[in-house]
A and B are shown apart, each in its own frame.
Chain A
Amino acid sequence: MSAISLADINIWLDVIFVSLYVVVVLGLSGHFVGNILTGRVKKRFVGKQWPHHEGPPVPFLPKFLHFVHVFSMIALGVTGMYIRFPFFDGGRTTMRYIHYVFMIIVTINVLWRLWYAFFARQRDWREFALTKEDITTAPKVVLYYIFVKSSKPHLGKYNVMQKGTYTLFVPLMLLQAYTGFALVTIPFIFGYSPRDLLVGWWLGVVVGSTDLAGWYARTVHYLITWLFIILTTVHAYLSMTEDFPAFQNFFGLGGGHDHEDHGEHAPHGSPAPAASAGDH
């Protein structure tokens, strides 16, 4: 028997992430109060001083993919949590099938987005690429978000925290898709299940059991689910409070920005005015 049993790991994961999520929600609530007290809410929502964006408007395709992604992730989150914490009667099979459908949609979606980022005519991977300047100015961005500074460096379309988060999403999504497919035990591929093909033949050998390999896949899948829930909650909060017009625009609800350069941005590498601090 290992030092910590599978049973304990299961419980620890539940307790850690539920507790952490409560802390995150409380933290964001506190942050919003900070936004009110420092006048940022009034400046943005009343004074309409939102960040300006240089460059052309975001094309339709990435916005569409983003929308599909949001919808799919919500569906996957709800159905996935139901599978782990069944909270109403009679929905297991239905919820599992919905989960299957959206896992295919979201996998296609993320591959499509990666193709767009790297191979489309309007490829935009550079907007997400972390630069050395991003890293060196990261502390100033953090200080802005915790209200120590009134502005943060404006280096491009996305700040260092956004770039880091969005970049992290990619391997997490791919790993989530991999571990998710590895949970399917139906032997529909020439008599083998996705679990057999994705983890059974190697991890199963290492840990001595296909079931146990599946358990590890499930555990990683569950852990990443919580990371997504937490990161997405923070992302949604910041997108709404820091740049509400961009949030609206991304969902086709109006909003949007004047994309001309008004000359209000601070030069790259220097602090931007407070009004343009929350670039999205």
Chain B
Amino acid sequence: MRVRSLASVLLLAAIGGVLLLPASALAQESAAGTTTATVGGYDVDFTLPTAAKSGCMVCHGDENLVRLQGDEIVSFWVDPAELEAGPHATVQCAGCHLDFAFTLPHVQQTEDWQSTAKSACKNCHEDQYLDYGQGVHRPEVGNGATAEDADEKPLCGDCHGSHGIVALVDSPEGQQALRDNAYEVCGRCHQEYWDTYADAYHGKAFKVGAEDAPSCWDCHGYHEIWPSTDRRSTVHESRIADTCSQGDGCHDDPNDGYLEYVELIHGQRETLEQNPLFAFVSGIWSAITGLFGA
């Protein structure tokens, strides 16, 4: 990209502004592939990238690349270090941004370029995508699910992230990074279950970083995931014993008596509140604090 005038920061912000506007209004594409745009009275020439990642990173590698969306400044910066450290360092940008149009703006405004990128994983990770397609997170329409419901279903990138994605297979660091990010992966959509995952040995311990406490997916599974009421779910009562006894660090031979504890894993608070002594003590405490106006 060649900049003719003013400071680069202003210019990059202006470029961001250009991306918001229809291409026909601002830009002319020359036969040589150079795009000229007029922003705020300044002419800006772009040489849009072809297949090479370095082309994209000329602009997107600059952390000042932002644009204003409403009252919010949205960054379009892609951290080169993060990208290079990840498992997709050798993948071209257009390998995931499948609808990149080599134009300005890069995609048609009617296109949901983020959904395209978030689902592009299927082209390489076919098995995982097929598993995902079997589970409850598949964006299915029909069987009572509307298009709106389907839109709310998570795509690959919603759980795994995007440019900062980490390798998980044979990667303790990647697994740990995923555990550290569990709220973003599961909790932000399943807030109620995140909040109730609070028993001493599982949820409470997991949330304070206990290495031996199970993450959401350790019990519920991942790509092919089902509601706990579905017999295919790993936490369905017919399969819970197998799930609890998986791996080396979990339970050896949980029988029915032992599995009674399962109700506390997401029900600790509820069980506590149903306890008559707790209700009595809480009542006294409320009366005392009420007396002092607290």
List CB contacts (< 8 Å) of A185-218 with chain B.
185, 207-212, 215
**CB atoms of A1 and B256 under 8 A apart:** yes
A93 at the interface (CB under 8 A from B): yes
Which of the candidate stretches A5-13, A47-55, A59-67, A165-173 sits at the interface with the other chain?
Answer: A5-13
- Given known A-B contacts A207-B257, A211-B258, A85 and B211 have beta carbons under 8 A apart: no
**CB atoms of A11 and B272 under 8 A apart:** yes
**CB atoms of B208 and A88 under 8 A apart:** yes
CB distance from B246 to the nearest CB of A (A): 13
B200 at the interface (CB under 8 A from A): yes
A90 contacts which of B209, B263, B264, B277 (Cβ < 8 Å)?
A: B209
Please, which residues of chain A bring their CB within 8 A of the CB of B272?
Answer: 11, 14-15
Which of the candidate stretches B115-123, B185-193, B247-255 sits at the interface with the other chain?
Answer: B247-255
CB distance from B198 to the nearest CB of A (A): 11
B260 contacts which of A2, A87, A88, A210 (Cβ < 8 Å)?
A: A2
B281 at the interface (CB under 8 A from A): yes
**CB atoms of B255 and A212 under 8 A apart:** yes
Cα distance A93–B205 in the bound complex, in angstroms:
11
Please, which residues of chain A bring their CB within 8 A of the CB of B277?
Answer: 12, 15-16, 19
**CB atoms of A8 and B257 under 8 A apart:** no
Cα distance A87–B275 in the bound complex, in angstroms:
23
Please, which residues of chain A bring their CB within 8 A of the CB of B204?
Answer: 85-86
The interface on chain B, measured as residues whose beta carbon lies within 8 A of the other chain's beta carbons, has a size of 30
The interface on chain A, measured as residues whose beta carbon lies within 8 A of the other chain's beta carbons, has a size of 31
Please, which residues of chain B bring their CB within 8 A of the CB of A93?
Answer: 210-212
- Given known A-B contacts A19-B277, A85-B204, A92 and B260 have beta carbons under 8 A apart: no
A84 at the interface (CB under 8 A from B): yes
Cα distance A182–B91 in the bound complex, in angstroms:
52
Please, which residues of chain B bring their CB within 8 A of the CB of A1?
Answer: 256-257, 260
Please, which residues of chain A bring their CB within 8 A of the CB of B254?
Answer: 209, 211-212
A89 at the interface (CB under 8 A from B): yes
A92 contacts which of B212, B256, B261, B264 (Cβ < 8 Å)?
A: B212
B267 at the interface (CB under 8 A from A): yes
Please, which residues of chain B bring their CB within 8 A of the CB of A211?
Answer: 251-255, 258
CB distance from B106 to the nearest CB of A (A): 41
Other CB < 8 Å A-B pairs besides A15-B272, A19-B277, A89-B208, 13 of them?
A5-B260, A6-B257, A12-B277, A15-B277, A15-B278, A19-B281, A86-B200, A86-B208, A86-B210, A92-B209, A92-B213, A211-B254, A212-B254
Can you name 18 A-B residue pairings with CB atoms under 8 Å?
A6-B257, A7-B263, A10-B261, A11-B268, A11-B272, A12-B275, A15-B275, A19-B281, A86-B200, A86-B208, A87-B208, A88-B208, A92-B211, A208-B255, A209-B257, A209-B258, A210-B253, A215-B261
Interface residues of B (CB under 8 A from A): 200, 204-205, 208-213, 251-258, 260-264, 267-268, 271-272, 275, 277-278, 281
